[in-house]
Structure 1
Amino acid sequence: MRIGRVVAGTMALAAATIMATSESAAAGVPPRIGSDHTYSGRQNTPSVLLHKGIGVAQPQYRVAVYTGNKEDAGTDANVYITIYGTRDTVGHRLDNSENNFESGKTDRFTLGLRNVGRIKSIKISHDNSGEKPGWYLKKVTIDVNGDHPKFCANRWLAEDEDDHRPYVKLDRKPRC
């Protein structure tokens, strides 16, 4: 008798999920997973969209950005990262509630992004906004699924320094 109740409860939950998914689809809203149709996982992680009704967990990319310890090395510009992998490419703005990218500081971000496979390279850039947008980037490290690639920069991302570009594409290195 107890098994019958469990099966009946599971069936009722499945029916409610299908109904909610159907209502969302009819309204043109992509279905999401969870009691309020969202799954946020860890802090700073966006909701995970369902694919054909099945929730797929996204990897957690733990990104550490090291700003060099030079005069005026920090920036208040908006900073972006693009991750190039063996399977896909994803981009994301790097921002949290802290004052990011200050001279000599390491900023850490946890990003829930789709799986790109093994990370080959990254592009890191800024939008050149703010009073002094120039930025001295030392390096970037990423930790995802036991992989720990490092990306060495040791250069200015600025329109008035080095090669006059506010971006750089970096290949993974064994160490910086």
Structure 2
Amino acid sequence: MAVFFTADTHFGHGGARGLYRRPFDSVPAMDAAMTSNWNGIVGPDDEVWHLGDFAVGPTPERVEALLDGLAGIKHLITGNNDPDAVRSLSGWHSVQPYAELMLDGVGCVLCHYAFRSWRNMHRGWLNLHGHSHGRLKPVPRQFDVGVDCRGFRPVSLRELTGSS
């Protein structure tokens, strides 16, 4: 089982194409590309931690279909654009505003928002976040996992840290 991270997919959000300069001709093309990218690397037994802002605008039925079409065991760390209709979908294995994980001996603090400081940051723990769409200046051990700065796909901890 592999573990991946992503954020700010904004499935269905026409405004995301302009606001974040996404290189897609249409919302359906954007959604299809992100779905294909996700399913191209995530297997059915892999875990994906989505750090907020899953979908903006589509009907609840469309959002559920999008979530169901994505591979893996999916966790949602809620963002500012995740209403009850998104948080309550049956396709989420868990839903919470914050989580801490230990992966391969590396502590990770997960939240939609970037932190200025976080638990155990001086002990080598990492802060993984979304929300900023790649617009924040990076600080040590902090990673924006949003699709806009990660090739419109989930990424592994190894990819983020450059470790082998």
TM-score by length of 2: 0.23
Greater per-residue strand proportion: 1
User: Would you tell me which structure has more helix in proportion to its own residues?
Assistant: 2
